[in-house]
Amino acid sequence: MTQENIESILTEDRIFAPSEAFRSKARINNRADYDALRARAEKDHEGFWAELAKSEIDWHKPFTKTLDSSRAPHFSWFTDGELNISYNCIDRHLKDKGDKTAIIFEGEKGDTRRITYKELHKNVCQFANALKAKGIKKGDRVVIYMPMVPEAAVAMHACARIGAVHSVVFGGFSAESLKDRIEDAGARALITADGGTRGGKVVPLKAACDEALGKGCKTIETVFVLKRAGNDVAMKNGRDIWWSDATKGQAETCEPEWVNSEHPLFLLYTSGSTGKPKGIQHSTGGYLLGTIVTMNWVFDIQENDIYWCTADVGWITGHSYVAYGPLAVGGTALMYEGAPVIPDAGRFWKICQDHKVTIFYTAPTAIRALMKAGDDYPNKYDLSSIRLLGTVGEPINPEAWIWYHEVIGKERCPIVDTWWQTETGANVIAPVPGAVDTKPGSCTIPLPGMAVDVVDDAGNSISTPDRGGYLVIRKPWPFMLRTIWGDDQRYIDTYWGKFNNRYYVAGDSCRRDKDGYFWIMGRIDDVLNVSGHRLGTMEVESALVAHERVAEAAVVGRPDDIKGEAIFAFVVIRGPRPQGSEADKLTKELRDWVAKEIGPIAKPDDIRYADNLPKTRSGKIMRRLLRTIAKGEEITQDISTLENEDIVKQLQGEM
């Protein structure tokens, strides 16, 4: 990466201050108080986090040691403390808010349910007892492959309640991806459903489980199956059990397993620059603290809020801001099962109206898609309950930001653009909405206790405004990942290697403007951001070359209006290069193939065929050239070292 090519071209300079109406009710409502809080954190990093951990978490056994750096960069927080996260999210609210709604659910077909804290407690305890009855115990891994229904959250809390480590696999991933994750985690149980409903279709989850289990996954002993979509499924005797049968007659209480603060709460697989997904491992105490402080600071959640984060529980956002954060603070979280366009592009806005949503958090890709559908949809609904909007997943383009602000927020609601990652556990850079003015496209400034910096190739902090560099975090924070499951070395190499273990390297490039606002500029590694989700180029390449007709493949991203990045694949096949209708047929076959290997989100948008891929003398694929071609831009780089210049024309689709 050279400085020039990450030098920014953005020139957005509009500033939006929160309204008086918002500010007057906000928990932190002016910049001076907020700066004082940040200064305190900076002065005494450990003391700051220790104080919050004591005030925000109910500890079964209080901690005496805050940060342990003896195994750096594997850091531990609150190490001798003991707690249970399901207790903190549910039990501790029972006395004062047992009858408060914890989860509002709406299915794609329009069915709704409201679940109180008392009911959630009962459901979680019964399912926890069902897990125990099948021999699942503390430390065992359990994979959850579910639709977006309350039982997905119940399953997560039930695991946490007994100290089992959950690993949720997004229901849109294929059987093949599911199998890889089950095997890497060595899971003993799998929790799924017959099917989920999305986009008007049934997603046959149980069938995908059967396919995955048929190919391996020898560690799985039990499969719990929730009846949701009503589709026919096969049940294997001795292995598969219906959720309803497993919970029947189970006690309605279940003493939480008190675990050490560092006890792994969950693994969540995410893509890296190599083909193999990484099992990001989070802790219990530190992670919980991250979700709580950000629910308070960034989402400013209050007693009567109806909080809706649209993310699926298969992603980190669905962990921190659906299943854990809103409950940890005793809030009401909305869950929606389906797609945003069923029956039409007004569905999200109708849900906001019907359930009087006050805080709405979604991804730029969804905002752009709904913006394209036109203003008539949101204008049909009463959105006056909304007081705060949020975005996450990728930089939001100023046009979409302004639309969100005007058409959804009616210029009344601050927008919190939250930068974070699966690895960071919770928001890291984001505005505290009552105190920090916002600029369209910027995630603003780091939260208190987050030592975020932008450094150059030599690792020196960049103070020149608008100069791009590496986004790094200088000090450990409680909700950071602990390691990559089963691969400590990969953890060190991926996140710490670049600057000799001096700081956490996020993998994003970033610039800071003259006001110290952060502007994320994209990834620095071979990772694509498709619809706010990370996909490794290598992962898609591996899937392509696994097809019998593919000899070689290279995948790059190309900017896309809705998805952020689209997947562009260059493919060399065995035998003569396909052309015309033969190429079209193969393209369809390869797209379906990748969907089957990884999941529909990984389907290449474009495929081009050539006799060879452009390579340097040392055999490295010239990715920059491929990116230029994918964008349809004029080639300015030196291609004279190419053996066969004709292939550039082939790749450009010109011959």
Closest distance between ligand WT7 and the C-beta of residue 309, in Å? 10
Q: Find the shortest distance in angstroms from Cβ 509 to ligand WT7.
A: 9
Nearer of residues 191 and 415 to ligand WT7, judged by Cβ = 415
Contact 573, 550 (CB under 8 A): yes
Contact (Cβ atoms closer than 8 angstroms) between residue 174 and residue 212: no
Strand ranges in 1-160 using DSSP code E only, listed in sequence order: 67-68, 76-77, 82-83, 101-106, 112-116, 141-145
Q: How far apart are CA 485 and CA 165, in angstroms?
A: 11
Least distance (Å) between residue 188 CB and ligand WT7: 26
Shortest Cβ distance from residue 51 to ligand WT7 (Å)? 26
Tell me how far apart the alpha carbons of residues 577 and 573 are, in angstroms, rounded to a whole number: 7
Asked whether 270 and 280 are in contact (CB, 8 A), the reply is yes
User: Which residue number, 48 or 266, has a Cβ lying nearer to ligand WT7?
Assistant: 266
The closest alpha carbon to 322, from 332, 309, 331, belongs to 309
Residue number, 91 or 453, with CB nearest to ligand WT7: 453
What count of Cα atoms within 13 Å lies in the side-chain half-sphere of residue 389? Answer: 28
* Cα→Cα distances 130→139, 158, 245, 428, 468, Å: 16, 9, 9, 37, 52
**At closest approach, how far in Å is the CB of 398 from ligand WT7?**
13
Q: Mapped to the 3 state alphabet, what secondary structure does 602-643 carry?
A: HCCCEEEECCCCCECCCCCECHHHHHHHHHCCCCCCCCCCCC
Compare residues 153 and 229 and give the one whose CB is closer to ligand WT7. 153
Query: Is 131 in contact with 143 (CB distance < 8 Å)?
Result: no
DSSP state of 422: T
Closer to ligand WT7 by Cβ: residue 228 or 533: 533
Taking CB atoms, the residue at the shortest distance from ligand WT7 is 422
Closer to ligand WT7 by Cβ: residue 140 or 394: 394
**Choice between 172 and 204, CB closer to ligand WT7:** 172
Residue closer to ligand WT7 (CB basis): 431 or 434: 431
Question: From the CB of 487, what's the least distance to ligand WT7, in Å?
Answer: 17
Q: Least separation, in Å, of the C-beta of 212 and ligand WT7?
A: 22
Write out the H or E segment, with its range, that includes residue 291.
Answer: helix 285-297
Give the footprint of ligand WT7 on this chain (CB under 6 A): 270, 316-317, 392-395, 417-422, 443, 506-508, 520, 523, 529, 532-534
Instruction: Tell me how far apart the alpha carbons of residues 495 and 505 are, in angstroms, rounded to a whole number.
Output: 5
Q: What are phi and psi of 489, to 5 degrees?
A: -65, -40
Q: Looking at this protein, which amino acid is placed at residue 308?
A: W
Closer by beta carbon to ligand WT7, 300 or else 394? 394
- To ligand WT7, the closest distance from the beta carbon of 57 in angstroms equals 22
Q: Closer CB to ligand WT7, residue 326 or residue 532? A: 532
| Cα–Cα distance, 345 to 577 (Å, whole number) | 41
Please tell me the distance from the alpha carbon of residue 560 to that of residue 44, in angstroms, as a whole number: 44
User: Looking up tokens 């190490």, which residue turns up?
Assistant: 79
Could you tell me the two tokens for 82? 């003991």
Token pair recorded at residue 447: 């939260």
> Could you tell me the smallest distance in angstroms from the CB atom of residue 394 to ligand WT7?
5
- Could you tell me the two tokens for 570? 């260059």
User: Residue 49 and residue 289: Cα distance in Å, rounded?
Assistant: 9
Q: DSSP 3-state assignment of 186?
A: coil
419: CB partners within 8 A, 6+ apart: 392, 427, 428, 429, 430, 443, 508, 518, 520
Per DSSP, the three-state class of 380 is coil
Give 322 or 328: the residue with its C-beta nearer to ligand WT7.
322
Which DSSP category does 522 fall into? Answer: E
In the bound state with ligand WT7, the residue whose beta carbon lies nearer, of 259 and 566, is 566
CA angle 409–413–418, rounded 5-degree value: 100
Decide whether 93 or 278 has the Cβ nearer to ligand WT7: 278
What is the closest distance, in whole angstroms, from the C-beta atom of residue 14 to ligand WT7 in the complex? 17
For CA atoms 92, 95, 100, 104, the dihedral sign is positive
Phi and psi at 195, nearest 5°, equal: -170, 170
For the bound state, the minimum distance from the C-beta of residue 416 to ligand WT7, rounded and expressed in Å, comes to 9
C-beta of 171 vs 507, nearer to ligand WT7: 507
* Residue among 338, 522, 450 nearest 42 (CA): 450
Q: Note whether 351 and 380 are within 8 A (CB).
A: no
Amino acid at 80: D
Minimum distance of ligand WT7 from residue 270's CB (angstroms): 5
CB of 459 to ligand WT7, least distance (A): 19
Cβ(102)–Cβ(117) below 8 Å = yes
Q: Whole-number minimum distance, CB 534 to ligand WT7, in Å?
A: 4
The least CB distance from residue 557 to ligand WT7, in Å, is 12
Q: How far is the CB of 532 from ligand WT7 (least distance, A)?
A: 6
Task: Using the minimum distance from each CB to ligand WT7, give the nearer residue, 377 or 401.
Answer: 401
Nearer to ligand WT7, 195 or 468 (CB): 468
308 closest CA partner among 98, 101, 477, 37? 101
